[in-house]
Amino acid sequence: MGKKHVVETTQEEVLKEGEKLESALKKGVKVRQSQKVAEARVYVSSSYNNTIITLTNASGHVLATKSAGAVGFKGTKKSTSFAASRVAEAISAICKKLGVEKLEVFIKGIGAGRESAIRTIVAQGLNVVSIKDVTPIPHNGVKPKKVRRV
């Protein structure tokens, strides 16, 4: 097996990592006064490798997009439910800046971040009107193989 290495992180390193995450959350959206939105849609795309959350207005124009990688996670940590909750926090902060009153949430995919993203959006105090699952489901599947002839 080999020796186990214990890595000790100092308080300064923990603070630097927290600042990196916060700066990644703050980057991105500069809100103009004319950009106030009453109703919006949030699309949560959760795969085995990443969680991507997109904020659009009612007509479907994209206002902001955040992913676990954009928030500051790398590698396998992007696929965790904690990373998805951080992405949802970033999107909810943008929603508050834009003055969003009502949200419709659309979920797609089968990743670990599905539920935690929704829970975080609701916990941030945003008014979620509806939650819909739009994961594509095959109706008939692929064509079966031909019978093997010997």
Chunked into runs of 10 residues, the chain (150 residues) has average pLDDT values of 66 70 58 69 94 92 93 91 94 91 93 91 93 91 90
The pLDDT score that the predictor gives to residue 33 is 45
Q: Which residues are CB-neighbours of 102 under 8 A, at least 6 positions away?
A: 38, 39, 40, 127, 129
The b/e string for 90-108 (b: 16+ C-beta within 10 A; e otherwise) is: bbbbbbeebebeebbbbbb
Domains of the chain, by residue range, sit at 32-133
CATH class of the 32-133 domain in this structure:
alpha beta
The pLDDT score that the predictor gives to residue 23 is 65
Check: pTM over 0.85? Answer yes or no. no
